Structure 1
Amino acid sequence: MDVPDLKPHSSHWGVFRAGWQGDTLVVEPHPSDPDPSAILQNFPEAVRHRARIAQPMVRRGWLEHGPGPTDRRGRDELVPVSWDRALDLLAGELRRVRDAHGVEGIFGGSYGWSSAGRFHHAQSQVHRFLNIAVGGYVRSVNSYSAGAANVILPHILGPFEPVTRHSVTWEAIVQHTGLVLAFGGMAVRNSAVGGGGVSRHVERGAMREAAARGCRFLLFGPLRDDLPQEAGAEWVPLSPGTDTALMLGLAHTLATEGLHDRAFLDRFCVGYPEFEDYLLGRTDGVAKDAAWASAICGVPADQIMAIARQAAGQRVLVTMAHSLQRAEHGEQPVWMGMVLAAMLGQIGLPGGGFNYALGSIAHYGKRMVAVPVAGLPQGRNPVRAFIPVARISDMLLNPGAPFDYNGQALTYPDVKLVYWAGGNPFHHHQDLNRLREAFAKVDTLVVHESAWTATARHADIVLPATMTLEREDIGATTTDPLMVAMHRLAPPFAEARDDYDIFAALAERLGKREEFTEGRDARGWIEHLYERTRAALAEKNLPAPDFETFWQQGELEMPLEEDTGGIVGAFRRDPEAAPLPTPSGKVEIASATIAAFGYDDCPGHPTWMDRVEVPGGEAPLWLVANQPATRLHSQLDFGGTSAGSKHRGREVMRIHPTDAGARGVAEGDIVRLFNQRGACLAAAALSEDLMPGVVQLPTGAWYDPADAEDAKPLCVHGNPNVLTRDAGTSRLSQGCTGQLTAVQVERFTGNLPPVKAWDPPVG
């Protein structure tokens, strides 16, 4: 058989080349990638899968009765219509809502992971359309991944992006770090992914090199494999969600044994004396010593004290996964991890200090590109109303209700139309049965999708969108040195259209086509975006090929900045000349700003607080709902790698043999996970790589209710978000708390329902 002509393309999980060999798409990772992701192999089966959406569809009840609240979303028949009719109906509905309720009645829902391309980036496309063609929209802020950290970090250390992306590099760790305290680990399944594309996955190799030099990795968490084997990590099992208590115990030993760096605390920090009063029990009568911490987290007191003593006096890096702050009081481990690094005097040193979320995404720990990478301009949004991203159900269920956020007293807007393009809230969000109730409250739900996700199935108007392989684009990001010419590898599936073409046609119906398109087609925009980078390269007298040359070459190597440690490194070198962008200009161990907010669930310094939900009674096990290894979130769940990881069509849940034996569960059994919010099925895998009392079920299996008419239907596919609690981390950030949930597990003995998540709905 002929060798296929491979063309370049890019994805969030890797740069690659692909081409057709007969009817088979062949995908090969970029030759310079030392650790390519297996997620690339989701593409061949996905591009023409039965789960793809073939034509525009409208919910029958919406067609027959018009817009309005209804519990029939996700239950009604979907009716195929022509593109012209779908666009006419949608343009009319956008006008109706805008004229009757103002643009504050429209919510622009999206998430940034739809495409690595800088132009066909659904989040940018939908926001540009709503701003320019409609006049604005209610937006969301922050992310499900890092909602608490997004808000707390600017108060205590600096803006999220500079702190996470620009402070500590893998190169510095390889050269300088002596001890890594990895809270929640640095799982390479997470760092396989990075927004805008990844040309080289370096994390596994960097940990291997650091360990070979003598760097020691300590992994704190309930899962042994949250660091790769190459790190040679020592696993310190601790009860889920108790990292703050453990860190307080470590800090207490440092303080009482005089191992903390007083000179650093005095010069570079504010608020340590106030925090120390709490730490030593002067304010509440409870010393947060190793014995106190041990009783909460399960790590022996002697081990806690030994780790603290070993950390003092060497180059130490404190890292923590996104997962720690995706739980009740999620701000606290972020804050306390930074305080621990400050007490060790390590912040701002090469390979030392504190790096939130290192290893949680491919772009953290890498040097920055030294020239700009353009994105699609989104226009100006005049609407001031917004919600923290994980509070969508609260908004839809409680219009006009007050809520707190980052020192502001706000009110939920009264949204009538939700426009979703790029993203699947039936993956990201918690308590999916509550989310179904919330979507029942709006007049109209519009969804652009390439495949029949649960979000698309709940829509009133579904518009089939192309997937990345069916479009041209530019793959690039600020922390990867390769700009990629993303060639089209397949024609659009059936009647699917690019988001840009859909929005341009809608803008024309609203009298705003010229303003939206600026007279450019998709290729014209791609060339326009490329020109900014080309001009910046030319200014630096670096190779700056014209667009056609770049497109034929397929990629362009871009220069990287020096590794200076960013704003934190500059602050360490000269705190007076380069103060941190915090209220005090210093590291805020205690924050007068946060204290002034008066939040009982987020005081003015790191604090251990009891949680609402812990295992016990009818839900005796912790469920860790973490990121999957075989797909990005829920994307291409029907692809080859993702589908191949399932057992009997279900997502796989890991359980310790002790807990399995107590429930009569054997390897490969189908089990039912349940609590007061819902239930799902999964396949059991017995493993000693997690603690007793803990089960682990990754997110991303498409929600598949056995009986859509049931108020709390059984998800037969294994989506853990039917179980997770929909509540904010605190009044400060209102972040997502979906990482940890209390559940019960039992062997499923009934008639096994079929999995139909990837089947097109009848219509």
Structure 2
Amino acid sequence: MTLFTSAHWGIRTAEIAADGQIRLLPWPGDPDPNVIGLDQLEAGVQAIRVCRPAVRKSWLDGGPGSRPDLRGRDPFVEIGWDEALDLAAAEIDRVRKTHGNGSIFGGSYGWSSAGRFHHAQSQVHRFLNAAGGYVRHENSYSLGAARVILPHIIASMPYVMANHTSWDVLRDHTQLLLCFGGVPWKNAQISAGGVLRHHVRPGIDAMRVAGIRMVNVGPVGDNLDNAAAAWVPCRPNTDTAVLLGMAHVLHDEGLADRAFLDRYCTGYDRFLAYLNGGADGTARNPEWAERISGVPADTIRQLARDAASHRTMLNMSWSLQRASHGEQPVWALVAVAAMLGQIGLPGGGFGFGYGAANTLGSNEGLLVGPTLPQGRNAVSDFIPVARIADMLLSPGGSYPYDGKTRTYADIRLIYWAGGNPWHHHQDLNRLERAWQKPETVIVNEQYWTATAKHADIVLPATIPAERDDIGYSTREGHMVAMRQLVPPLGGARDDYDIFTELSRRLDCEETFTEGNDSAAWLRKLYEQNRGVLARQGIDIPDYDQFREIGLIDFADQKAPVVMFDAFRADPEANRLSTPSGRIEIFSETIDSFGLADCPGHPVWLEPDEWLGRLPAGDDRLHLLSDQPERKLHSQLDASAHSRDNKVGGREQVHLNPADAAERGIADGDVVELSNDRGACLAAARLNDRIMPGVARLSTGAWHDPDESGRDRHGNPNVLTLDKGTSSLAQGSVAQTCLVRITGPVNAPPCTTAFNLPHFVAREEN
């Protein structure tokens, strides 16, 4: 019998050697497998696991609120499970009784597991709901701006993600793939519930073989197959200006599809007045766009003409909306696609994130998978996920979000499970100050990450290979019986078992468990989902057979996908979910909010930090912090595969050779990146596919500050700006960041990110 498990990077089979050692292998049917995570059981990764419950020494000695300034530096005391659970439950009970459940923040942001039951975010939210509720987060760091604005203008982000026109349709019908921010296959190595067949690189290869023209507009040229695409360098954060310049050409030269705009859209004339400069006399033409973006006016003009004369798919990477006014490139892309009149046609229209995840562009069936119910949250408060430091630093403060004024809760306790805010969040030195505000931080964690080191109570959690589960992801064409391959390391327990014990102590066990252990839940969720699929005419084996087979391949459910084809065929019968039921190039709703930083139609607004604002003689570079190639976010950063991509134990910052030469920097030198927010060290990598004036330092290096707060490991989020995209969405602006780069750094310090915290006995002072 083949044993399977699932990871974000793919379905894995387990080969058991004669000595009992487990070797993980990619599923043999994957056309483009990767090796990420195959070494997750290696000794170097296991060595940094949390093996026993641990409590921060000052908190244990002095109680809640004791010396929060020592979080991240305090030693820990390892204790038994019963005592740890008693302490955690008593603290949750104290806070909810003294301050109310609205003082508990349920932090869970990250890709904790491909399994649908042992998914830390689902588990912690279900537990906190059972215990009376909690303050939650909305949206994501990846898509904070897009998730808010897309429903106003065309459709929800989940709908768009699940219905991207499929790669086979692009191959057969597209003539021009015009990308803003590329199609970075490295990002598409993953999907939330695991990948059976990787689509992106084979999809791009097929389009190249078919002779389809591809153009990549942006500051980086290596995020779309170099052999396939022409590169048009463009200043970071200025894509909106290029799109507006294209829109001006489409109207000015009579290339806009007025029939499509009249039938399927609303508000075009209001947008047109802005393009023509009706209010301020500034026409948003290619010459205007060139001054902002650096893209030649003739190039912008020709791109517009080419897009209008061919079946064109416009694509935008998610990174563009992780910037100041990140809502605007999303809206401008939709507006230009509407002017081309190809939305809903095979191979035409727009994509928002080809290359962002494997799911986008898949032709696998759109099926329902098993889901653990999370219960009802009695607390209505929430924050946009990227505003956590604001909330902690400004309790009771007000902020605008999606047309309403909201108030930050006064958080006394954070319970975090599944994720690492010291990876995701911006301006980590500011987060460090904010993290001192709560009285208690409790974390379920598998590894000694910076988040675990900044906690008061750390409870060791199992990894997917240590438990049974069910793997499934939308449009990934599979369901997998994830098998326990190894026993839990040390004293690690499943999140479900941890929360079961806590709920028993908090008198809400029945609400949380409904009388089920993990095995019963897995059987129940599978059989419920089996019934749902049966009503769709899809038969799958019963649970015991599923466990024996290990993998269900829904290949027979594949079908070509064309996004918004039903809407195009009949816009009245298939109205969009927008207020007008049509594509809103001008939104009456957003306009009614009266937001200066997000008015009622797409506009160019100057970023908080960008190359166009630099005074003469200022040698700062625009820093891009993209996703890493050899891990997902910060997961498995300690693995051999991830470490092999570091230089001297540090992440690499990519620089244009001309910028490096001006600074006396050679390939491989350790350099310092700095601004008013912080500093970090990284190894220089010269790359002529990075435009001059730009640097790229991928995220994922575990935070490793020295005594001054300078990160030794290459974590760009000590530099990035912690501010909302706008008053509409309050998303992350990680891609809006200027830095100085100096070097080489002589005698750079060793990295310590993977060192365990200091442990002491209880009686030590």
Q: Which residue of 1 aligns with 2:251?
A: 255
Q: Which residue of 1 aligns with 2:387?
A: 391
Q: Is the counterpart of residue 143 in structure 1 residue 137 in structure 2?
A: no
Counterparts of 1:505 and 1:264 in 2: how far apart (Å)? 59
Quick one: which of 484, 488, 495 aligns to 1:488? 484
Q: Which amino acid aligns with 2:95?
A: V
Query: Displacement of 1:64 after TM fit?
Result: 1.2
Q: Is the counterpart of residue 237 in structure 1 residue 236 in structure 2?
A: no
Q: Which residue of 2 aligns with 1:266?
A: 262
Q: Which residue of 1 aligns with 2:170?
A: 173
Unpaired runs of 5+ residues, structure 1, are none
Q: Which amino acid aligns with 1:686?
A: L
Query: Displacement of 1:513 after TM fit?
Result: 1.7
Equivalenced residue count is: 752
Q: Is the 8 A contact 2:162 2:366 kept in 1?
A: no
Q: What per-residue deviation string (whole Å, max 9, x for no partner) do you get for residues 101-120 of structure 1?
A: 11000000002510000000
Query: Displacement of 1:619 after TM fit?
Result: 6.0
Q: Is the counterpart of residue 625 in structure 1 residue 625 in structure 2?
A: yes
Q: Which residue of 1 aligns with 2:31?
A: 34
Query: Displacement of 1:576 after TM fit?
Result: 1.4
Equivalences for residues 704-715 of structure 1 within 5 A = 704-707=704-707, 710=708, 713-715=709-711
Equivalences for residues 242-391 of structure 1 within 5 A = 242-367=238-363, 369-391=365-387
Q: Is the 8 A contact 2:55 2:78 kept in 1?
A: yes
Q: What per-residue deviation string (whole Å, max 9, x for no partner) do you get for residues 120-164 of structure 1?
A: 0000000000001x1100000000000000000000001111122
Q: Is the 8 A contact 1:678 1:722 kept in 2?
A: yes
Q: 1:668 to 1:289 in 2, by over 3 A?
A: same
Segment of structure 1 superposing worse, 357-366 or 698-707: 357-366
Q: Is the counterpart of residue 614 in structure 1 residue 600 in structure 2?
A: no
Query: Displacement of 1:6 after TM fit?
Result: 5.6
Q: Is the 8 A contact 2:365 2:559 kept in 1?
A: no
Q: Which amino acid aligns with 1:693?
A: G
Quick one: which of 197, 200, 204 aligns to 1:200? 197
Q: 1:420 to 1:309 in 2, by over 3 A?
A: same
Q: Is the 8 A contact 1:166 1:367 kept in 2?
A: no
Counterparts of 1:229 and 1:480 in 2: how far apart (Å)? 27
Query: Displacement of 1:37 after TM fit?
Result: 1.9
Counterparts of 2:110 and 2:50 in 1: how far apart (Å)? 21
Segment of structure 1 superposing worse, 618-627 or 59-68: 618-627
Quick one: which of 91, 94, 114 aligns to 2:92? 94
Segment of structure 1 superposing worse, 533-542 or 421-430: 533-542
Q: Which residue of 2 aligns with 1:700?
A: 700
Query: Displacement of 1:560 after TM fit?
Result: 2.9
Counterparts of 2:226 and 2:480 in 1: how far apart (Å)? 31
> What secondary structure, in the 3-state scheme, does the structure 1 residue paired with 2:597 have?
coil
Equivalences for residues 427-506 of structure 1 within 5 A = 427-506=423-502
Q: Which residue of 1 aligns with 2:8?
A: 12
Query: Displacement of 1:233 after TM fit?
Result: 0.6
Q: Which residue of 2 aligns with 1:80?
A: 78
Question: TM-score when scaled to structure 1?
Answer: 0.96
Query: Displacement of 1:310 after TM fit?
Result: 1.1
Q: Is the 8 A contact 1:650 1:717 kept in 2?
A: yes
> What secondary structure, in the 3-state scheme, does the structure 2 residue paired with 1:171 have?
helix
Q: 1:513 to 1:47 in 2, by over 3 A?
A: farther
Q: Which residue of 1 aligns with 2:106?
A: 108
Q: Which amino acid aligns with 1:135?
A: G
Question: TM-score when scaled to structure 2?
Answer: 0.96
Query: Displacement of 1:313 after TM fit?
Result: 2.8
Counterparts of 1:507 and 1:600 in 2: how far apart (Å)? 47
Q: Is the 8 A contact 1:57 1:80 kept in 2?
A: yes
Q: What per-residue deviation string (whole Å, max 9, x for no partner) do you get for residues 16-48 of structure 1?
A: 112343475422111111111231334242685
Q: Is the counterpart of residue 61 in structure 1 residue 79 in structure 2?
A: no
Q: Is the 8 A contact 2:199 2:362 kept in 1?
A: no
Query: Displacement of 1:514 after TM fit?
Result: 2.3
Q: Is the 8 A contact 1:46 1:638 kept in 2?
A: no
Q: What per-residue deviation string (whole Å, max 9, x for no partner) do you get for residues 72-126 of structure 1?
A: 1112111111111110000000000000011000000002510000000000000
Counterparts of 1:370 and 1:239 in 2: how far apart (Å)? 38
Equivalences for residues 502-513 of structure 1 within 5 A = 502-513=498-509
Q: Which residue of 2 aligns with 1:71?
A: 69
> What secondary structure, in the 3-state scheme, does the structure 1 residue paired with 2:61 have?
helix
The structure 1 segments of at least 4 consecutive aligned residues displaced by more than 6 Å after TM superposition are none
Q: Is the 8 A contact 1:619 1:675 kept in 2?
A: no
Q: Is the counterpart of residue 533 in structure 1 residue 534 in structure 2?
A: no
Q: Is the 8 A contact 1:329 1:601 kept in 2?
A: yes
Unpaired runs of 5+ residues, structure 2, are 760-765
> What secondary structure, in the 3-state scheme, does the structure 2 residue paired with 1:312 have?
helix
Q: Is the 8 A contact 1:112 1:122 kept in 2?
A: no
Counterparts of 1:45 and 1:79 in 2: how far apart (Å)? 26
Percent identity between the aligned chains? 51
Q: Is the 8 A contact 1:427 1:700 kept in 2?
A: yes
